[in-house]
Amino acid sequence: MKKLSFILLLVFSISSTYAQDISYEQLENLHYYGEELRKTDSYLSERCVLDIYYPKNTKDFATIVWFHGGGITGGEKEIPEALKNQGFAIIGVNYRLSPKVKAPTYIEDAAAAIAWTFKNIEEYGGDPKKIFVSGHSAGGYLASMVGLDKSYLQTHGIDANEIAGLIPFSGHTITHFTVRKEQGISGEQPTIDKYAPLFHVRKDAPPLLLITGDRELELLGRYEENAYLMRMMKVVGHKETVLYEMDGYGHGMTHPAFPLLIKEVKRILAK
What range does the domain containing 236 cover? 2-266
pLDDT per residue as tens digits for the range 196-231: 999 999 999 999 999 999 999 999 999 999 999 999
156 in any annotated domain: yes
271 in any annotated domain: no
Percentage of the chain surpassing pLDDT 90? 92
pLDDT per residue as tens digits for the range 75-123: 999 999 999 999 999 999 999 999 999 999 999 999 999 999 999 999 9
pLDDT per residue as tens digits for the range 165-195: 999 999 999 999 999 999 999 999 999 999 9
257 in any annotated domain: yes
Which of 142, 44, 50 minimizes the C-alpha distance to 93?
A: 50
User: What secondary structure, in 3-state letters, does the chain show?
Assistant: CHHHHHHHHHHHHHHHCCCCCCCEEEEEEEECCCHHHHHHCHHHHHHCEEEEEEECCCCCEEEEEEECCCCCCCCCCCCCHHHCCCCCEEEEECCCCCCCCCCCHHHHHHHHHHHHHHHHHHHHCEEEEEEEEEEECHHHHHHHHHHHCCHHHHCCCCCHHHCCEEEEECCCCCCCHHHHHHCCCCCCCCCCCCCCHHHHCCCCCCCEEEEEECCCCCCCCHHHHHHHHHHHHHHCCCCCEEEEEECCCCCCCHHHHHHHHHHHHHHHHCC
Task: Please tell me the total count of domains within the chain.
Answer: 1
28 in any annotated domain: yes
Q: What is the phi-psi region of residue 77: left when phi exceeds 0, alpha when psi lies from -120 to 50, beta otherwise?
A: beta
Q: What is the phi-psi region of residue 264: left when phi exceeds 0, alpha when psi lies from -120 to 50, beta otherwise?
A: alpha
**What is the chain's alpha carbon radius of gyration, rounded to the nearest angstrom?**
17
The mean predicted confidence, pLDDT, of the chain is: 94
157 in any annotated domain: yes
- pLDDT score, position 15: 45
Which of 95, 107, 93 minimizes the C-alpha distance to 193?
A: 107
199 in any annotated domain: yes
Instruction: Give the integer Cα–Cα distance in Å for 83 and 15.
Output: 9
**At 21, is the pLDDT very low, low, confident or very high (cuts 50, 70, 90)?**
confident
Let me know: does 48 contact 109? Beta carbons within 8 Å. yes
Let me know: does 94 contact 43? Beta carbons within 8 Å. no
| CATH code for position 256 | 3.40.50.1820
Which of 59, 52, 98 minimizes the C-alpha distance to 75?
A: 98
Instruction: Give the integer Cα–Cα distance in Å for 102 and 45.
Output: 17
Let me know: does 107 contact 143? Beta carbons within 8 Å. no
**Residue 240 backbone dihedrals phi, psi, to 5 degrees:** -130, 55
